[in-house]
């Protein structure tokens, strides 16, 4: 029953995608702006559904970080709508000529961006992703099939209904935006098997979810990764700058993938920097998981002993692992051993150290003298993002409009034949 239902939804999405593939930019932009207005107009309905989800999440013991990701407010809904408007204002990637040439025989070649077709999304407790995924998919000419998880089912049901009604009012098939939340985990499994109907699958969530999709999906998947992000404070760092960066990277919104989870401090500045940053983090409610050297350098600031597990943990909460390193070489070795390949940052005034950090480490984003919180589609000027890819094929880093397209080669001749 579930298999047949999900297959039918995917087939309807594939059929609907053809109606959008040739839509003009004006049509798509008008649709996104109308969706933004409709979401704001439906704020009360969406918040009512979200309240049910949040209550259920708290009752089930959901962590504070995940509750924060799940929670919507009128301001957050307005922000989500603004993100749609920003996507509408971006250039349309469809039809962009990536490269082209004329061969000696006169054949004219063009590699042109075209929609994927149907994008599948599997994600957890993130109702904003429902809107971001739909907006990016539609702007790039794709239909989208969403599986947002049981934790956000009432929020997502309300949001999808608003989006579908707006799509239909624009004269386009409402099947361009569909959800399979009603089919639970079994529905997610069937979505992973819908090869030939779903063109690409993007998982967004915890490590278990992502690895399950990467391992089990028959549909090509773009791997988004967990964010075990590091901030390294070098011996040459401006410590006031480092203070601002570390506080922002950890505290500004701890439940997101680009929040800092591990702080490395060079031994030459640990005695000066760690007591100051330690007090500030503790006052903000952050628990410090410190190695012995870091605990000693904290100078009486409370901490708990770090375990081997802490160095590989994406907390998504007000916790941070702290260690002291003797050199840039040690910092690089440490980050290589524990990085999830998402975002790594260095605070330094040494150009050679910055260069080594950005060339010797391997991550989707490498940041010098700024917060890890900038690894984000909106902050990068891409508009909303469908996820942050930590793989190396097709897309890496924040995935915006271009990453939801593929290319086709057009070949124009005047009767040429191959000899």
What's the confidence (pLDDT) of residue 226? 81
Least confident of 1-5, 143-147, 392-396: 392-396
CA 96-100-106 angle, 5° bins = 135
Taking only the tens place, the pLDDT of each residue in 197-211 is 999 999 987 778 888
CB 147 within 8 A of CB 238: no
pLDDT digit string, tens, across residues 210-266: 889 988 999 999 888 788 999 999 999 999 999 999 999 999 999 889 999 999 999
Pairing of strands 200-204, 319-325: unpaired
What is the rounded CA–CA span in Å between residue 224 and residue 353?
29
Specify the pLDDT at position 392.
Answer: 81
User: How much of the chain exceeds pLDDT 90, in percent?
Assistant: 84
For the segment 123-164, what is each residue's pLDDT rounded down to a tens digit? Answer: 988 899 999 999 999 999 999 999 998 999 999 999 999 999
b/e 52-79 (16+ beta carbons within 10 angstroms → b): ebbebbeeeebeebbbbbbbbeeebbee
Q: CB of 347 within 8 A of CB of 234?
A: yes
The fraction of the chain above a pLDDT of 70, given in percent, is 100
Number of CB atoms found within 10 A of residue 100's CB? 12
What does 43-101 look like in DSSP terms, one character per residue?
A: HHHHHHHHHHHHHHHHHTT--HHHHHHH---HHHHHHHHHHHHHHHHSPP-TT-EEEEE
| For residue 65, pLDDT beyond 80 | no
If you average pLDDT over residues 154-183, what whole number do you get?
Answer: 97
**Which distant-in-sequence residues (6+ apart) come within 8 Å of 271 by Cβ?**
297, 299
DSSP state of 250: H
CA gap 141, 139 in Å, rounded = 5
- Please report, to the nearest 10 degrees, the dihedral formed by the alpha carbons of residues 239, 240, 242, 247 taken in order: 140
Which range among 208-222, 297-311, 385-399 shows the weakest confidence by mean pLDDT? 385-399
Q: Tell me the C-alpha distance between 4 and 11, whole Å.
A: 10
Query: What would the pLDDT profile of 19-30 be if each residue is shown by its tens digit?
Result: 998 899 999 999
* Cβ count near 48 (within 10 Å): 13
pTM over 0.85, yes/no = no
Q: Is the pLDDT of residue 268 over 80?
A: yes
The CA distance from 157 to 283, in Å, is 39
Which of 8, 393, 28 has the alpha carbon at shortest distance from 198?
A: 8
**Structural domains in the chain, sorted by start:** 2-224+399-412 (3.40.605.10), 229-374 (3.40.309.10)
Nearest by Cα to 204 from 85, 315, 342, 336: 342
What span, in angstroms and rounded, lies between the C-alpha atoms of 149 and 272?
46
In 62-199 the beta strands, taken as DSSP E runs, fall at: 97-102, 108-115, 118-123, 143-147, 177-179
């Amino acid at each position: 029953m579930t298999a047949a239902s999900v297959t039918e939804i995917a087939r309807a999405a594939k059929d609907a995608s053809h109606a959008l593939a040739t839509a003009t930019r004006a049509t798509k932009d008008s649709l996104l702006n109308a969706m933004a207005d409709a979401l704001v107009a439906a704020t009360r309905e969406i918040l009512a559904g979200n309240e049910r989800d949040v209550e259920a999440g708290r009752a089930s013991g959901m962590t504070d970080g995940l509750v924060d990701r799940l929670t919507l407010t009128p301001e957050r809904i307005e922000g989500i709508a603004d993100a749609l408007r920003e996507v509408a204002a971006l250039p349309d990637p469809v039809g962009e000529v990536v490269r082209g040439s004329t061969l000696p025989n006169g054949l004219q070649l063009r590699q042109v961006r075209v929609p994927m077709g149907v994008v599948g999304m599997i994600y957890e407790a993130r109702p904003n992703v429902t809107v971001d995924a739909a907006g990016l998919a539609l702007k790039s000419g794709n239909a989208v099939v969403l599986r947002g998880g049981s934790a956000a089912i009432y929020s997502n049901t309300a949001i999808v209904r608003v989006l579908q009604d707006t799509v239909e009012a624009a004269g386009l098939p409402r099947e361009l935006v569909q959800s399979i939340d009603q089919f639970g985990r079994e529905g997610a499994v069937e979505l992973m098997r819908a090869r030939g109907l779903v063109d690409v699958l993007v998982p967004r969530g915890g490590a278990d979810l992502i690895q399950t999709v990467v391992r089990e999906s028959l549909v090509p998947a773009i791997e988004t990764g967990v964010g075990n992000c590091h901030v390294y404070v070098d011996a040459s760092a401006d410590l006031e700058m480092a203070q601002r960066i570390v506080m922002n990277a950890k505290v500004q919104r701890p439940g997101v993938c680009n929040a800092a989870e591990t702080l490395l401090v060079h031994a030459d500045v640990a005695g000066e920097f760690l007591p100051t940053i330690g007090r500030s983090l503790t006052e903000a409610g952050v628990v410090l998981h410190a190695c012995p050297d870091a605990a000693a350098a904290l100078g009486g600031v409370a901490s708990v002993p770090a375990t081997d597990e802490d160095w590989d943990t994406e907390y998504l909460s007000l916790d941070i692992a702290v260690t002291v390193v003797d050199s840039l070489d040690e910092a690089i070795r440490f980050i290589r051993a524990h990085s999830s390949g998402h975002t790594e940052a260095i605070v330094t005034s040494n150009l050679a150290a910055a260069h080594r950090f950005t060339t010797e480490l391997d991550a989707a984003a490498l940041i010098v003298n700024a917060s890890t919180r900038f690894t984000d589609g909106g902050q990068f000027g891409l508009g909303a993002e469908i996820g942050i890819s930590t793989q190396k094929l097709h897309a890496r880093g924040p995935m915006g409009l271009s990453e939801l397209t593929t290319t086709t080669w057009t070949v124009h001749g005047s009767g040429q034949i191959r000899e």
